[in-house]
Amino acid sequence: MKKLFKERTVHFIVVAFLIGMFAGVNMSFSATASEPPHRYLDYFHKVYQIIKTDYVDVPGTKDLFYGAIRGMIASLDDPFSRFLDEKAFKELKEGTTGEFVGVGIEISVKDGQIVVISPIDGTPAMKAGIQAGDTIIKVNGTEIKDKDLSDIVNLIRGKPDTEVTLSIKREGYDELLDIEIERAPIKIETVKHDIIKDTKTGYLKVSLFSENTPNDVREALKDFRKNNINKLIVDLRWNPGGLLDGAISISDMFLDKGKEIVSTRGRKGTGSIRQYGSENDPLYNGKMIVIVNRGSASASEIFSGAMSDNNRSKLLGEKTFGKGSVQKFFNLNENVGVSLTIAKYYTPSGISIHGKGIEPDYKVESDVISSDEQKQINILMKKKLLEKFTASHKTYNETTRKEFYEFVKKHDIQLSNKTADYVLKNELSGLSKRPVYDLEFDRQLREALKVIDGS
């Protein structure tokens, strides 16, 4: 049977979502020369018997053992290793399809805090203004520090069309930002592509590496070839990762046969090293540049590292997130399992980016909204003034923009014309089919066009 490797990060889309390696079919155990466990197993058995016979209430056997497993894994102090009961296992399988119910964020534990890796493009979290690097302090007013990750999941999750309030700590802000997000069924369109107007440059946006992503990228490349496109911008911003197999398959479409894509190394002294290389001739041979940012993680970093280290493409944007550990999934039965960190991955040059990220060749910051203006936008959203305006204004044009300037001024909202334009256009885009790219407010994409034209 072919083993499927994927990587997992703790995430709440909200519903679990894979980032990286997912493998496994059978449980396996190996003997070690460490301290024999018999004495501790005896302790465990005695405690179990005491609880079953003497505890004030009648405990459930399943609850006791599931709790013991969670405690054992928690002792590893690794946010990427976890136990998946029936519910979490089902959500994990749903996550690989790119369809789920939630708010649309990927999170991870960093320095003991719950940090947003990335809001998924086009999801409620992205529309509400959640950003990569945000630290979640409260959920619906409840402090989440020291809470179990499964408890945090339950706090964030809920029924579609209900709201959850995340209290966010953001760099540059003195106070917590309370952001209300409406939960919704979400289907991620992981690949979008177009030819940038008035250029002969293709634009390929990959939002996530799911099961269908390689096929969608392959179709996009066929379309570019049909239109004689020999310049390509690959956009991996806000892509939190996905399936390792997907990252390898897509890397294979751009690299010469035999080039290394990524390697993984397990526990020191075990000799557990695996290398993955391109096995086919490339589908695309033209110029390319990859855009990344702080929300590009895991499988995105595998692809970016493979392109950069093989001198296939330059990277432009911001330093990536730095998620480079490998998780393997072990089935306990058909509905329950554990995900354990078993290795770290290395780019072709032999560098582990875990906790470090990848620096781009061309450092280009995105347009940033000031903290003062962000507070004004939050007021605009909280009072539902934006909804009120767009209820009678459906088209983004010069007349609508001028009327919006007057509207926000009338309600004592202080925004620059540029920020007002961005907020308005973003809201109106959500009411219709969002364009594949937007040069007006995308400084990094404009710079990528300049670089690829000059290369």
DSSP secondary structure letters along 233-288 = EEE-TT---BBHHHHHHHHHTTS-TT-EEEEEE-STTTT-EEEEE--S--S--SEE
Reduce the DSSP state of residue 301 to 3 states and report it. helix
Of the candidates 251, 298, 308, 325, the residue annotated as catalytic is 298
Residues 83, 65: contact at Cβ < 8 Å?
no
Both tokens of 408, joined, read: 């926000």
Which of 223, 218, 231 has its CA nearest to residue 282? 218
Q: How far apart are CA 302 and CA 263, in angstroms?
A: 10
Q: How far apart are CA 40 and CA 21, in angstroms?
A: 32
Which stretches within 180-254 are classed as H helix? 213-226, 244-252
Of the candidates 192, 323, 328, 425, the residue annotated as catalytic is 323
- Cβ-proximal residues to 454 (8 Å cutoff; 6+ apart), any chain: none
- Residue 310 has what DSSP assignment? T
- Cβ-proximal residues to 21 (8 Å cutoff; 6+ apart), any chain: 5, 6, 7, 8, 244, 264, 326, 327, 328
| Secondary structure of 36-66 as H, E, C letters | CCHHHHHHHHHHHHHHHHHCCCCCCHHHHHH
Let me know if 366 is a catalytic residue. no
Q: How far apart are CA 448 and CA 237, in angstroms?
A: 13
- Cβ-proximal residues to 38 (8 Å cutoff; 6+ apart), any chain: none
Both tokens of 14, joined, read: 């909200």
Which stretches within 118-200 are classed as H helix? 124-128, 149-156
Let me know if 298 is a catalytic residue. yes
Of the candidates 300, 309, 313, 421, the residue annotated as catalytic is 309
369-382 burial: b if 16+ Cβ within 10 Å, else e: beeebbebbbebbe
Torsional sign, CA 210, 4, 323, 251: negative
Which of 109, 237, 116 has its CA nearest to residue 168? 116
Residues 322, 356: contact at Cβ < 8 Å?
yes
Residues taking part in catalysis = 298, 309, 323
